[in-house]
Amino acid sequence: MGRDFCDPAKGGDEDSEMRLKKTIGYFEGVSFIMGTIVGAGIFVSPTGVLQYSSLNVGVALIIWTICGIISLMGALCYAELGTALPLSGGEYSHIKRALGSPLAFLFMWTALFNKPASNAARALLFAEYAIQPFYGECQAPELQKKGLALAVLWFLGILNGRSVKMATWVQTIFTILKMMALSVIAISGIVLLIRGRKENVARFENAFDAEIPDAGQIAEAFFQGLYAYGGWWSLNYMAEEIKNPNKNIPRTVMTALPLVTLFYLLVNVSYLTVLTPKEVVSSVAVAVTWADRVIPSVAWIIPVSVAISIFGALNSSMFTLGRLSYAGSQSGHLPIVISMLNVHYWTPAPAMIFSTIIASIFIIPSDLIALTNYFGFSVWLMIGFTCTSLIVLRYREPNLRRPYKVFLPVAYGMVAISLFLVCAPIVWSPKVQYIYAFLFVLGGLLIYVPFVHFKIHFAFFDKITCYLQLLLEVSHANHKYE
């Protein structure tokens, strides 16, 4: 194949420009962002915001809107970083450039625990929705659910490792399908509201008549809402593969986030047109309850839509996690073989295999997934560090080419919001598990200091790398991250 597979120190043929291809355009980027944000939550249980808003419809809708605006603010900050530094790895690459290697490693260390667990949870939820209809009212066996979850994980892992174009095509198709399902709910709600009974319309005419929640409840409602918008940061993980990133990254962000916010508002209005606030909060799967009332003859569409939505979100999450592992290996924070590309398809196949294996481990003893609930603060901690990176680079590297620049107070605002979201749950509801999670994050230094800082190396790793190169038919990319 023209490459020395068994010498990890050698790269590929420079003339071949072995690197990730730019295959993601504007429409695909929109699909990735929307497909990552819109998972099962909006179909199954968009109850948290309403519940913590004391069933006050007006307050709940305002919180959904503000959460969308906050997510757009964060995405615009990321858009500046993505256009100035179009590298794979998202927050990891930006934190490393601005705040240093140790902090970037701690982010990656935490993400390689948190994100695969999230993927495992999505795979298990997909399996539950796919299998449960065959068992009626009986509970589906755990072994079958775990088996299907593993099969889905590996199918998507192999798909993403084999073809970026195919993974992008799957993402686009499944995003279109899930948005069609949301459109059915949203349009039906508008029609019912226009033609609706007085008591349905009165819920919105008297939207603020219910009890006004206190500050603690409002803060908790914001936590629930922002969680539903999670994934707005996904585009930066694939910045290296975006066509014309200078234009497409800002355009994609400015399209996807307002669209998601609009859909979230319309779907919530639709639910509240058909169901009372108490019914929404008490429903196990609010979209299913809505369908039983509005379209009982084809109510099966909703469970199918939930499974489609989960599948699309899982594909996007697997795609981005593979890019994080790839970028970490490029920087020397993970074994070098993970940064290699398949010589036939130019895809980060080893990175996809690595991230899929980790997610599979979480499925087997699925109780481990519950531990990640206490890592929620780490997500906003790293968002805060990333927005801080933007500010640091503005002052430290003023001449860095920035095709798109966000209004700097927006970045300061995101840092303040992130700090609040990190501290609030720990202060208001202190639990020993938060200490364990924090210690786990810092525990990454036990790996970083000897193996990255002091560069301790074992010769037998070279032999393993050689065998894996031959087995997977992979070679070095022609560039490295700085």
Of 49-63, 64-78, 117-131, 457-471, the range with the highest mean pLDDT is 64-78
pLDDT at 8 over 50: no
32 is a domain residue: yes
Lowest mean pLDDT among 268-272, 297-301, 395-399: 297-301
Q: Categorize the per-residue pLDDT at 97 as very low, low, confident or very high, splitting at 50, 70 and 90.
A: very high
471 is a domain residue: no
Lowest mean pLDDT among 159-163, 202-206, 231-235, 311-315: 202-206
- Identify which has the larger pLDDT, 288 or 108: 108
User: How far is it, in rounded angstroms, from Cα 196 to Cα 423?
Assistant: 44
Q: What percent of the chain has pLDDT over 90?
A: 59
Strand runs labelled E in 103-258: none
337 is a domain residue: yes
User: How far is it, in rounded angstroms, from Cα 405 to Cα 250?
Assistant: 10
User: How far is it, in rounded angstroms, from Cα 415 to Cα 394?
Assistant: 15
Identify the CA nearest to 6 among candidates 258, 259, 340: 340
357 is a domain residue: yes
Distances (CA, A) of 372 to 257, 310, 362, 363: 26, 19, 11, 13
pLDDT at 45: 67
Q: Is 428 exposed, middle or buried (0-12, 13-18, 19+ CB in 10 A)?
A: exposed
- Over residues 280-307, the mean pLDDT reads 87
CA 21 distance to own-chain centroid: 22
pLDDT at 14 over 60: no
pLDDT at 255 over 50: yes
pLDDT at 2 over 60: no
Q: What are the beta bridge partners of residue 468?
A: none
pLDDT at 13: 43
User: How far is it, in rounded angstroms, from Cα 64 to Cα 56?
Assistant: 12
pLDDT at 62: 95
Distances (CA, A) of 16 to 10, 19, 24, 187, 480: 14, 9, 21, 51, 16
pLDDT at 308: 92
- Identify which has the larger pLDDT, 130 or 478: 130
- Over residues 405-423, the mean pLDDT reads 94
pLDDT at 76: 97
- Over residues 157-165, the mean pLDDT reads 93
- Over residues 396-419, the mean pLDDT reads 96
Q: Categorize the per-residue pLDDT at 224 as very low, low, confident or very high, splitting at 50, 70 and 90.
A: confident
> Alpha helices, DSSP H only, in 38-141?
41-44, 48-52, 57-84, 91-99, 101-131
> Token pair 């800002």 is at which residue?
250
pLDDT at 11 over 90: no
Q: For the chain, what is the domain count?
A: 1
User: How far is it, in rounded angstroms, from Cα 219 to Cα 49?
Assistant: 10
pLDDT at 370 over 90: no
476 is a domain residue: no
Lowest mean pLDDT among 123-127, 204-208, 227-231, 465-469: 204-208
pLDDT at 436 over 90: no
Encoded tokens for 77: 């900050």
172 is a domain residue: yes
- Number of Cβ atoms within 10 Å of the Cβ of 365: 9
- Identify which has the larger pLDDT, 264 or 210: 264
CATH value at residue 85: 1.20.1740.10
User: How far is it, in rounded angstroms, from Cα 69 to Cα 257?
Assistant: 8
- Over residues 344-370, the mean pLDDT reads 86
Side-chain half-sphere exposure of 224, counting CA atoms within 13 A? 21
With a CB cutoff of 8 Å and minimum separation 6, the contacts of 122 are 39, 40, 310, 313, 314, 317
pLDDT at 349 over 90: yes
pLDDT at 428: 79
User: How far is it, in rounded angstroms, from Cα 121 to Cα 367?
Assistant: 10
- Number of Cβ atoms within 10 Å of the Cβ of 348: 30
* Radius of gyration over every alpha carbon of the chain, rounded to an integer in angstroms: 23
- Identify which has the larger pLDDT, 15 or 230: 230
User: How far is it, in rounded angstroms, from Cα 222 to Cα 69?
Assistant: 12
Provide the domain limits for residue 161: 21-453
pLDDT at 468: 92
- Identify which has the larger pLDDT, 372 or 293: 293
Encoded tokens for 356: 């899929």
The values of phi and psi at residue 242, to 5°, are -90, 130
Of 49-63, 354-368, 396-410, the range with the highest mean pLDDT is 396-410
User: How far is it, in rounded angstroms, from Cα 415 to Cα 411?
Assistant: 6
pLDDT at 427: 81
pLDDT at 229 over 90: yes
Encoded tokens for 52: 């913590």
Identify the CA nearest to 8 among candidates 481, 482, 459: 459
pLDDT at 373 over 70: no
User: How far is it, in rounded angstroms, from Cα 419 to Cα 428?
Assistant: 14
13 is a domain residue: no
User: How far is it, in rounded angstroms, from Cα 56 to Cα 45?
Assistant: 17
482 is a domain residue: no
What is the average pLDDT score of the chain?
88
pLDDT at 410 over 60: yes
- Over residues 239-256, the mean pLDDT reads 95
pLDDT at 170: 94
